[in-house]
């Protein structure tokens, strides 16, 4: 028996209460995913639709701590690079620097959403099975409505990506771009 009813939840996702999160779409990560061209095409489509519908866009960036303050298990050097140029933020978009796989830990993201009356979060980006799933579950625990854009998320590990989508679909909305855009374009 499931208490999750996607059709009921969709009623609460509108352009005036939604934010689009572009999760860690940085050079090194984009170049590591299994479906780069398809992913970028679908991500651009959703970013364009968000802009047309005045849905705010928040880009996250992995921002490592200074070397001395990194956890011991993460002390090897990793430079994810800049936000990928094909989907680079425009004026009015927000860049949120973060240090953990949850968008809520160590950032003001929750406060920003509550201040703006936003309660639905559409997640796109890299990696489905790490930061996106972690943040979506955290969002749900905080009372937000997470929506996973299944065509605009990816990972370097295709099997982990597919497992993660299957897991999240049991608990939250996992929708195509068309379904998300249709929700935003309803009157």
pLDDT of residue 2: 59
80, 143, 123, 131: which is closest to 106 by C-alpha? 131
Q: CA-CA distance, 184 to 22, in Å (whole number)?
A: 17
Encode pLDDT of 45-81 as tens digits. Answer: 999 999 999 999 999 999 888 878 877 776 566 789 9
- Sign for the CA dihedral angle at 84, 86, 91, 94 comes to negative
Would you state the pLDDT for residue 67? 78
Domains of the chain by residue range: 9-185
Tell me: pLDDT of 1 over 50: no
Which pLDDT tens digit goes with each residue over 87-124? 999 999 999 999 899 999 999 999 999 999 999 999 99
Taking 50 as the threshold, does the pLDDT of residue 41 lie above it? yes
Q: What is the tens place of the pLDDT at every residue in 133-149? A: 999 999 999 999 999 99
Per-residue burial over 134-164, b = 16 or more CB atoms within 10 Å of its CB, e = otherwise: bbbbbbeeeebbbbbbbbbbbbebeeebeeb
pLDDT at residue 3 tops 90: no
Q: What is the CATH number of domain 9-185?
A: 3.40.50.850
Determine contact, residues 46/180, Cβ cutoff 8 Å: yes
For the chain, the residue count is 187
Averaged pLDDT for residues 154-163 = 98
pLDDT score recorded for residue 48: 98
């Amino acid at each position: 028996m499931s208490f999750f009813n996607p059709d009921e939840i969709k009623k609460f996702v509108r352009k005036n209460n939604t934010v689009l999160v572009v999760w860690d779409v940085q050079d090194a990560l984009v170049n590591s995913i299994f479906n780069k061209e398809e992913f970028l095409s679908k991500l651009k489509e959703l970013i364009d639709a968000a802009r047309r519908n005045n849905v705010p866009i928040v880009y996250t960036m992995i921002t490592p701590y200074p070397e001395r303050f990194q956890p011991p298990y993460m002390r090897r050097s990793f430079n994810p690079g800049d936000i990928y140029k094909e989907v680079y933020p425009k004026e009015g978009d927000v860049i949120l620097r973060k240090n953990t796989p949850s968008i809520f830990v160590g950032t003001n993201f929750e406060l920003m959403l509550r201040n703006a009356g936003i309660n639905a979060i559409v997640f796109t980006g890299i990696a489905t099975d790490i930061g996106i799933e972690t943040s979506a579950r955290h969002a749900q625990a905080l009372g937000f409505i997470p929506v996973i854009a299944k065509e605009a998320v990816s990972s370097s590990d295709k099997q982990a990506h597919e497992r993660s989508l299957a897991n999240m679909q049991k608990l939250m909305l996992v929708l195509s771009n068309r379904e998300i855009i249709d929700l935003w374009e309803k009157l």
